[in-house]
Chain A
Amino acid sequence: MHFQYSSAEHQAESAMSGMWLFLAQEILFFGALVFVWVYCCYQHPAGFRLATQHANLLIGSINTAVLLTSSFTFTAGLLAIERGEPRRLIQACFATIGLGVVFLLLKGVEWFKDVGDGLVPGAHFSLTGPDSGGAQIFYVFYYVATVLHALHMIIGIGLVLWIAWRARRGDFSRAWSTPVEVVGLYWSFVDVVWLTLYPLIYLAAL
């Protein structure tokens, strides 16, 4: 416990508050991308439609389900440690990491296919015609959004690994599991970001 806190609980709730405030910051970070999407979609409805038709809906949807499940498993781990079962927490962490890795691998396959289909903005963009410009703007949004989300996933996987390692060391107990809760907030928030991006990328402009 740091010496500026009066009790462990005082510190724990401050840490949780800090994480929520950080997430408020993240809302605005990804919110700027949502703003970009709305702004450009209004100016290029046909281009966005064309581009959305070429997005990989199958992989995107599977990934959504995978990510939802990973949030579920991590929260289950949190419940386990709150009942005093660190082994269950470790299992939940590895399930979460596994699902996170699956998400990233599928994402990689999707990017690979996109590039193979020539969906790279620039001189060799494969969607031609009058709506090509709008479609390229969409794909700029697509790559920036998905890469940034994937970076958040990678950081999240690192954090969950750290939780698993600390749980193995026996740091957490029924009485104290603040870091688990804080990391859970982050992981679920990354999930929320994806739930916002998913309709924007694959469905809303159809």
Chain B
Amino acid sequence: MSGWPPLLVAWIGLLVLLALELGSALLLHLPATASLFGMAQAAIVVIAFMRIRRGSPLMHIFGAAGLFWLIVLLALGNLDPLTRTDLIVQTTGNPR
């Protein structure tokens, strides 16, 4: 991707996605989708502005490694809070 037109298309696309993000959260009451729009926007920035497709395989590996380890952090890290058993602590027998 090179030259002006694709760049302009990407910019307009990003603004449209921003509008859709707002719309889906406020009008359709689907706030959770906002992050998906955010990811789509991030992907456009990476492709159009950071020109990842012109990068060497090495750059792709570095970017992918960052993402992979982020997923490890999110997945393994949230395993604990998502599966934790909360024990109710008795508060009545508190010695004064």
Q: Does a CB–CB distance below 8 Å link A and B in the complex?
A: yes
A interface residues, Cβ below 8 angstroms from B: 13, 16-17, 20-21, 23-28, 31-32, 34-35, 38-39, 42-43, 57, 61, 64-65, 68-69, 71-72, 74-76, 79, 184-185, 188-189, 191-192, 195-196, 198-200, 202-206
State the Cβ distance, A83 to closest chain B Cβ, in Å: 9
Q: How many residues of B contact A (CB 8 A)?
A: 47
A27 near B70: Cβ-Cβ < 8 Å: yes
Query: Which residues from chain A contact B38 at a C-beta distance below 8 Å?
Result: 195-196, 198-199
Query: Which residues from chain B contact A64 at a C-beta distance below 8 Å?
Result: 18
Per the 8 Å Cβ criterion, residues 57-95 of B in contact with A are 58-59, 62-63, 65-67, 69-70, 73-74, 77-78, 81-82
B4 near A195: Cβ-Cβ < 8 Å: no
- Mostly, the B contact residues are helix
B77 near A195: Cβ-Cβ < 8 Å: no
Query: Which residues from chain A contact B56 at a C-beta distance below 8 Å?
Result: 13, 16-17
Known: A39-B81, A68-B15, A206-B25. 18 other contacts (CB 8 A): A20-B62, A23-B63, A35-B77, A38-B74, A43-B81, A65-B18, A68-B11, A68-B45, A71-B49, A72-B14, A76-B7, A188-B50, A189-B50, A195-B45, A200-B35, A203-B21, A203-B25, A206-B29
